[in-house]
C-alpha cells in the first residue's frame, strides 16, 4: 500500500469545506481543498445576483463551533445580504488561517477509488492530480445550476445571466429591457431589485410560488446582545426543532381553533415575516384541510397587494403551501403594480425559443436587451453527478443513482469506501438551517476519520444493508406528509429525465441527530471497517 499525499481531500470551499479543513487540521490531519471558484464561500461566492440574501435570520445562519467567532462577529441586518455572508466566509478563512490549504480554480472532474492502495485519486479539469486516504464531497446541495433547455442562446444579441453564476463586476440594468425566467427564491429576490433599475421588466412564470414578507431591518442591537448572552442555549434549543431553527412553533392544529383566531394568528405571523410562518400550526404540512386555510389566507394577501386582478390570479399558486420551498421576499408581489413590470404565464404557452431580439412565446415576441435565468439547480445530486466518481467496483455514482439516489444517512454510500458527502441525499439538509446541519456532518465525518486512525483501520464503507434500510426509511417518512404531493426540486421534478425520488430526510433534525449518535455509540453501526 503506497501512502497518499493527503489524509483528506476536500472538494469545495464553502461553509462545509472551510470547517472541514479547520477541523482536520485541529485533529492533526493533513488535508487539502480543491475549489472550482477563485474564492471561498460556495453558494455565497456564486450567487451574487441583486437582492441575494439569506432567508434564515443572521443570528442563526452562522457557525457555532467557535464561541469567540459567534460573539465577535456583528451582523448588520435581520437577514444578511450576500456580500456580508461572503465577507463572513472570507473572515473565517483568514481567522483560522485556512487559505494556504486551498487550491482555487480547480474544478474536480474525476474522483476514483483505488482498491490496492485504499486511496482516492482526484483529477482536476485542468489536469492536476491529488491522492488522499479519504475524500469528502463538500459540494453543496444547491450548486449545480440548471439551465432551461431552450434553443437559441447563441442567437441572442444581448447577455444571458444565470443567478447562480453571476458576474463579479455586476450587471448594469439601467435603461435596459430585461426578461427574468423563473420565480423561485432567486427570482423572487432579484425581480424587485431589477424592476427598480431596468426600464422594462418582463417576468416569465411557469409556476407561481408562495412568498412571505421578510420585514428585513437593521440588526436590533438589544436582540443581538440577548442572543449572544445565551448563544449556546439558543443553539441547543434550535437542535430540538425539526428544521434546526429556534423560533415560535405552534403545537396546535389549525383545525382546533375558530376561523377568526386562525386568521388572526396568520396575520400576526405575516406581520412578523419569515419562514416560520409555516409553523403557525403544527399540521400545515400533514393535513390538507389545514393547509387549505393557509393557502386561502396567502391568496387573499396576494390579491390585496396586487392591484390588477388578472395578474393577482396568475401569482396565486394552485398547489399546497410548503410543498415547494417557501420564499421570503421584500416587495415581491407589490413589484407587479409597477408600470414597467409585466408578467407572462408560460405554463399554458411555454417559451418556444430565444432568438436574436429576445424570446418567442406562442405567437408573441418579447424584445429584450438582457435575459436573467433564475431557474435553480439540479438539487442534491447534481453537483456529485457532474463529477465522475468511481468506487471500488468501478461503477460511477451517477450510474448507481440513475433510478434515484441512495445513501446511508446522506453521509456515505455502499461501493464507495472512504468517501463522505456533506448533507447528501437522505439527510435533512435543505429542509433545515444549513449551517448547523453541515457543522454536524463535518463533526461526524472528522470524528469518524479520527476513530479509524485511532483504531488502526484504513477503510470504512457503508454496508448495502444499512444503506437500503436507511433509504427505505427516508422514503417511508417522505410519504407521511403532503409535501411530496407537489412537484419540486426536492423530488428532482425540475430536471428533465431525473428520477422522481424525495431526496432529503423529512423526519426532522432531532431524529436524524439521534440516529447519527446511535450509529457512533454502536461502533459505527452499518459500516464495515478494515
Stretch that binds ligand N01, among 113-121, 370-378, 414-422, 519-527 (CB under 6 A): 370-378
Q: Is 343 in the site for ligand N01 (CB under 6 A)?
A: no
Burial per residue of 322-356, b for 16 or more beta-carbon CB atoms within 10 angstroms, e otherwise: bbbbbbbbbbbbbbbeeeebebbbbeeeebbebbe
Q: Give the CB-nearest residue to ligand N01.
A: 184
Q: Is 381 in the site for ligand N01 (CB under 6 A)?
A: no
Q: How far apart are CA 162 and CA 181, in angstroms?
A: 10
In the chain, how many H helices and how many E strands? Answer: 16, 20
Q: Is 180 in the site for ligand N01 (CB under 6 A)?
A: no
Contact 460, 413 (CB under 8 A): no
Report the 10 Å Cβ neighbour count for 484: 19
Residues with Cβ < 8 Å from 506, sequence gap 6 or more? 428, 431, 474, 477, 478, 480, 481, 483
Q: Is 206 in the site for ligand N01 (CB under 6 A)?
A: yes
| Sheet strands (E) in 374-470 | 388-390, 419-421, 460-462
Contact 474, 481 (CB under 8 A): no
Cell of 526: 452499518
Nearer to ligand N01, 146 or 280 (CB): 146
Q: Is 460 in the site for ligand N01 (CB under 6 A)?
A: no
Q: Is 145 in the site for ligand N01 (CB under 6 A)?
A: no
How many amino acids of this chain bind ligand N01 (CB under 6 A)? Answer: 23
Contact 17, 88 (CB under 8 A): no
| Sheet strands (E) in 126-281 | 129-137, 159-162, 177-181, 200-205, 211-213
Stretch that binds ligand N01, among 178-186, 232-240, 247-255, 388-396 (CB under 6 A): 178-186
φ/ψ (deg, to 5) at 203? -100, 125
Q: Is 142 in the site for ligand N01 (CB under 6 A)?
A: yes
Q: Is 54 in the site for ligand N01 (CB under 6 A)?
A: yes
φ/ψ (deg, to 5) at 384? -75, -45
Q: Is 436 in the site for ligand N01 (CB under 6 A)?
A: no
Nearer to ligand N01, 9 or 141 (CB): 141
Nearer to ligand N01, 315 or 449 (CB): 315
Q: Is 186 in the site for ligand N01 (CB under 6 A)?
A: yes
Spell out, one character per residue from 463 to 492, where the chain touches ligand N01: x when CB under 6 A holds, - when not: --------------------------x---
Q: Is 184 in the site for ligand N01 (CB under 6 A)?
A: yes
Q: Is 183 in the site for ligand N01 (CB under 6 A)?
A: yes
Q: Is 82 in the site for ligand N01 (CB under 6 A)?
A: no
Find the binder of ligand N01 among 20, 85, 136, 181 (CB under 6 A): 181
Work out how close the CB of 141 gets to ligand N01 at its nearest, in angstroms, rounded to a whole number.
8
Q: How far apart are CA 156 and CA 163, in angstroms?
A: 18
Q: Contact residues for ligand N01 (CB under 6 A)?
A: 54-55, 142, 148, 181-187, 189, 206-207, 325, 346, 374-377, 430, 489, 494
Amino acid at each position: 500500500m503506497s501512502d497518499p499525499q493527503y489524509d483528506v481531500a476536500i472538494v469545495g470551499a464553502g461553509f462545509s469545506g472551510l470547517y472541514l479543513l479547520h477541523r482536520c487540521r485541529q485533529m492533526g490531519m493533513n488535508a487539502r481543498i480543491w475549489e472550482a471558484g477563485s474564492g471561498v464561500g460556495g453558494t455565497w461566492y456564486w450567487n451574487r445576483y441583486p437582492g441575494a440574501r439569506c432567508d434564515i435570520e443572521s443570528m442563526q445562519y452562522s457557525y457555532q463551533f467557535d464561541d469567540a467567532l459567534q460573539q465577535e462577529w456583528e451582523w448588520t441586518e435581520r437577514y444578511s445580504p450576500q456580500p456580508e455572508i461572503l465577507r463572513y466566509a472570507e473572515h473565517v478563512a483568514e481567522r483560522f488561517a485556512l487559505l494556504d490549504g486551498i487550491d482555487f480554480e480547480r474544478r474536480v472532474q474525476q474522483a476514483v477509488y483505488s482498491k490496492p492502495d485504499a486511496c482516492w485519486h482526484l483529477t482536476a479539469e485542468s489536469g492536476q492530480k491529488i491522492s488522499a486516504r479519504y475524500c469528502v464531497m463538500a459540494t453543496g446541495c444547491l450548486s449545480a445550476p440548471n439551465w432551461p433547455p431552450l434553443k437559441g442562446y447563441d442567437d441572442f444579441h444581448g447577455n444571458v445571466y444565470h443567478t447562480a453564476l453571476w458576474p463579479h463586476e455586476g450587471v448594469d440594468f439601467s435603461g435596459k429591457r430585461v426578461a427574468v425566467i423563473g420565480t423561485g427564491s432567486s427570482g423572487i429576490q432579484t425581480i424587485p431589485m431589477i424592476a427598480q433599475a431596468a426600464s422594462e421588466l418582463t417576468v416569465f412564470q411557469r409556476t407561481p410560488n408562495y412568498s412571505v414578507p421578510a420585514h428585513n431591518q437593521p440588526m436590533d442591537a438589544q436582540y443581538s446582545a440577548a442572543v449572544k448572552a445565551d448563544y449556546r442555549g439558543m443553539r441547543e434549543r434550535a437542535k430540538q426543532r425539526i428544521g434546526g431553527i429556534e423560533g415560535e412553533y405552534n403545537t396546535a392544529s389549525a383545525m382546533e381553533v375558530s376561523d377568526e383566531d386562525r386568521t388572526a394568528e396568520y396575520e400576526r405571523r405575516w406581520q412578523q415575516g419569515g419562514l416560520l410562518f409555516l409553523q403557525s400550526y403544527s399540521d400545515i404540512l400533514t393535513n390538507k384541510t389545514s393547509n387549505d386555510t393557509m393557502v386561502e389566507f396567502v391568496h387573499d394577501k396576494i390579491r390585496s397587494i396586487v392591484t390588477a386582478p388578472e395578474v393577482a390570479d396568475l401569482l396565486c399558486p394552485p398547489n399546497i403551501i410548503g410543498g415547494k420551498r417557501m420564499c421570503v421576499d421584500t416587495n415581491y408581489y407589490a413589484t407587479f403594480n409597477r408600470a414597467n413590470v409585466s408578467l407572462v404565464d408560460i405554463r399554458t404557452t411555454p417559451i418556444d425559443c430565444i432568438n436574436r431580439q429576445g424570446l418567442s412565446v406562442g405567437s408573441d415576441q418579447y424584445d429584450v436587451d438582457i435575459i436573467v435565468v433564475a431557474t435553480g439547480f439540479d438539487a442534491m445530486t447534481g453537483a456529485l453527478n457532474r463529477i465522475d466518481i468511481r468506487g471500488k467496483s468501478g461503477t460511477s455514482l451517477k450510474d448507481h443513482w440513475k433510478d434515484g439516489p441512495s445513501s446511508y444517512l446522506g453521509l456515505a454510500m455502499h461501493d464507495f469506501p472512504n468517501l463522505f458527502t456533506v448533507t447528501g441525499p437522505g439527510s435533512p439538509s435543505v429542509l433545515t438551517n444549513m449551517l448547523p446541519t453541515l457543522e454536524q456532518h463535518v463533526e461526524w465525518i472528522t470524528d469518524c476519520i479520527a476513530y479509524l486512525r485511532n483504531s488502526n483501520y484504513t477503510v470504512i464503507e457503508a454496508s448495502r444493508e444499512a444503506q437500503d434500510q436507511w433509504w427505505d426509511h427516508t422514503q417511508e417518512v417522505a410519504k407521511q406528509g403532503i409535501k411530496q404531493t407537489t412537484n419540486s426540486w426536492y423530488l428532482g421534478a425540475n430536471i428533465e429525465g431525473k428520477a422522481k425520488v424525495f431526496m432529503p430526510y423529512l423526519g426532522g433534525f432531532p431524529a436524524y441527530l439521534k440516529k447519527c449518535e446511535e450509529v457512533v455509540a454502536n461502533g459505527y453501526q452499518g459500516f464495515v471497517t478494515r
